[in-house]
Amino acid sequence: MKHLPKGSKKLIKAWAFYDWANSVYSLVISSAIFPIFYGALTIVKSENGQILDDTVHFLGYDFNNDALISYITAAAFLVVSILSPFLSGIADYVGNKKNFLKFFCYLGGISCIGLFWFDLETLWFGLLCYFFALIGFWASLVFYNSYLPDIAYPEQQDKASAQGFAMGYIGSVILLVLCLIMILKYEWFGFENEGFPTRLSFVLTGIWWIGFSQYTYYYLPKGNKRSGLTRNILFNGFRELKKIWKALKHNEILKRYLVAFFVYSMAVQTIMLVATYFGIEELDWGDQDSTTGLIVSILLIQLVAIAGATLTSRLAIKFGNIKILILINLIWIAICGYAYFITTPVQFYVAAASVGLVMGGIQSLSRSTYSKMLPADTIDTASYFSFYDVSEKIGIVIGMFLYGLVAQLTGSIRNSVLFLVVFFIAGVILLMRVPKGRIKE
């Protein structure tokens, strides 16, 4: 273990390298290969590609396959939203928080490896691995993010955070492309079909995550405090959330903005999590390889999202944050309406590019708008952002549950996508009700 001084470029690079390690989960498992694998495993199709059956039997009940994975995702995010305040309190007060970071990293990585054995005969095991992989990823981020003020000075933190984002994007794309080559050109590697290399991708994700994180652990300090873990420390995160909740009663602008964010964020996050499942079930791919097409669309979303975030920030400077957020919500409404009618891969690519453009914009602008609305004399910004993050995760729980419920009741995820329009319309109305006041520049 190397002891490097705060602000050291090598220390900051080691911290940011955890993004390189863990971002493969969000791309390979959450967005790309696992959703395609899950769809292939749980959908029975005819020779011409029509869906004959997408019902999954689990725990004595029959579920629509999309509804089932939506419920499991919602349950995992519910656990994370409950755990986060506990973990935030621990991260702030316990000296050896690196052990907590390692624990959730290993939980997530090992769970990804466990997805290798995902099949319908032992469905409970596969879904349990998916459940714990999600928890491991999001819970580890609590401790990872809490290290930023420990390893970098305030004037270095924006650059360090951006460095982590860039490394995460590059690392995840590299592994995804390698996995895609292995799956599509399986004969090059001596495999009989694409089934084994697809499962092997989950193993490589777990090994990549755990393996590359060792560089981070080698240089990161244990933690900056040495307090014992007491009841007061354990519940400190909840006390901080309660304090922010009370403070919102006296800040009408921030309160109304948070309500609007909570509502439209439900729909945004749900679409991001289910886009691939929609592409699997609702498109007629014809002779085109659906695996390649879906992964290309995911890479397209990520690339366009970067441009979208940049464009949105410039528009916000010229026209104002709230006006641009209203505009983006209106675009989301149009995208959902368009998605209801798409049937071809080309139409899906258009939708993917559109999603990428507003996805990057709405995420970056929502967070920066919230930051600018914080009281001018705010010292404990971490508590405010903890409240923001927990609100976002609870929104994901509600959004995914309702998405799954509509799919289960109607038998079509097209209806679920159309249903999400309600949240964007409500978001526009709520944003229009945010009092006009000075946003800190």
Region 230-257: what's the mean pLDDT?
A: 74
For the segment 341-388, what is each residue's pLDDT rounded down to a tens digit? 888 888 888 888 888 888 877 877 787 777 677 776 655 555 676 777
Region 75-99: what's the mean pLDDT?
A: 77
**5 domain-assigned:** no
Mean pLDDT estimate for the chain: 81
**243 domain-assigned:** no
Verify that 435 and 344 share a domain, yes or no: yes
- Choose the final residue of a domain: 178, 206, 234: 234
Nearest to 18 by CA among 103, 113, 136, 144: 144
Q: What is the 3-state secondary structure (H, E, C) of the chain?
A: CCCCCCCCHHHHHHHHHHHHHHHHHHHHHHHCHHHHHHHHHHCEECCCCCEEECEEEECCEEEEHHHHHHHHHHHHHHHHHHHHHHHHHHHHHECCHHHHHHHHHHHHHHHHHHHHHCCCCCHHHHHHHHHHHHHHHHHHHHHHHHCHHHHCCHHHHHHHHHHHHHHHHHHHHHHHHHHHHHHHCHHHHCCCCCHHHHHHHHHHHHHHHHHHHHHHHHHCCCCCCCECCCHHHHCHHHHHHHHHHHHHCCCHHHHHHHHHHHHHHHHHHHHHHHHHHHHHHHCCCCCCCHHHHHHHHHHHHHHHHHHHHHHHHHHHHHHCHHHHHHHHHHHHHHHHHHHHHCCCHHHHHHHHHHHHHHHHHHHHHHHHHHHHHCCCCCCCHHHHHHHHHHHHHHHHHHHHHHHHHHHHHHCCHHHHHHHCHHHHHHHHHHHHCCCCCCCCC
Region 66-93: what's the mean pLDDT?
A: 80
The residue that leads in pLDDT, 436 or 441, is: 436
The Cα 221–Cα 346 span in angstroms is 49
**245 domain-assigned:** no
Q: Please, which pLDDT band fits residue 410 given cuts at 50, 70 and 90? A: confident
Verify that 404 and 332 share a domain, yes or no: yes
Verify that 265 and 217 share a domain, yes or no: no
Tokens of 401: 């549950």
- Choose the final residue of a domain: 201, 234, 267: 234
The Cα 17–Cα 50 span in angstroms is 44
Residues 6+ apart with CB under 8 A from 35: 276, 277, 280, 294
The residue that leads in pLDDT, 333 or 437, is: 333
**191 domain-assigned:** yes
Q: Please, which pLDDT band fits residue 441 given cuts at 50, 70 and 90? A: very low
pLDDT of residue 85: 76
pLDDT of residue 212: 95
CATH of the domain at 51: 1.20.1250.20
Verify that 430 and 288 share a domain, yes or no: yes
pLDDT over 50 at 440, yes or no: no
Percent of the chain with pLDDT over 90: 20
Report helix angle 195-219 to 154-184, nearest 10.
Answer: 160
Verify that 142 and 178 share a domain, yes or no: yes
pLDDT of residue 74: 87
The Cα 353–Cα 275 span in angstroms is 12
Region 3-8: what's the mean pLDDT?
A: 78
The residue that leads in pLDDT, 281 or 109, is: 109
Verify that 133 and 257 share a domain, yes or no: no
Q: Which amino acid is at 248?
A: L
For the segment 158-184, what is each residue's pLDDT rounded down to a tens digit? 577 667 767 887 888 899 889 988 988
For the segment 212-221, what is each residue's pLDDT rounded down to a tens digit? 999 999 988 8
**265 domain-assigned:** yes
Region 49-53: what's the mean pLDDT?
A: 64
Verify that 97 and 29 share a domain, yes or no: yes
Tokens of 439: 């946003």
The Cα 436–Cα 257 span in angstroms is 11
**335 domain-assigned:** yes
Percent of the chain with pLDDT over 70: 85
Residues 6+ apart with CB under 8 A from 430: 256, 259, 260, 263, 264
pLDDT over 90 at 109, yes or no: yes
Region 312-335: what's the mean pLDDT?
A: 88
- Choose the final residue of a domain: 234, 261, 277: 234
Count of structural domains within the chain = 2
pLDDT of residue 207: 97
Verify that 164 and 275 share a domain, yes or no: no
Verify that 97 and 202 share a domain, yes or no: yes
pLDDT of residue 203: 96
The residue that leads in pLDDT, 145 or 333, is: 333
The Cα 167–Cα 172 span in angstroms is 8
Verify that 334 and 428 share a domain, yes or no: yes
φ and ψ of 44, to 5 deg: -100, 120
Q: Which amino acid is at 324?
A: I
Verify that 265 and 393 share a domain, yes or no: yes
**296 domain-assigned:** yes
Residues 6+ apart with CB under 8 A from 435: 252, 253, 256
pLDDT of residue 377: 62
- The domain containing residue 208 runs over which residues? 15-234
pLDDT of residue 56: 82
Asked whether the whole model's pTM tops 0.85, one would answer no
pLDDT of residue 425: 94
pLDDT of residue 419: 85
**69 domain-assigned:** yes
pLDDT of residue 89: 66
Q: Averaging pLDDT over each range in 8-22, 125-139, 140-154, which range is the top one?
A: 125-139
pLDDT of residue 376: 65
Largest CA distance in the chain: 66
Q: Please, which pLDDT band fits residue 92 given cuts at 50, 70 and 90? A: low
Verify that 227 and 314 share a domain, yes or no: no
Nearest to 82 by CA among 296, 234, 275, 225: 234
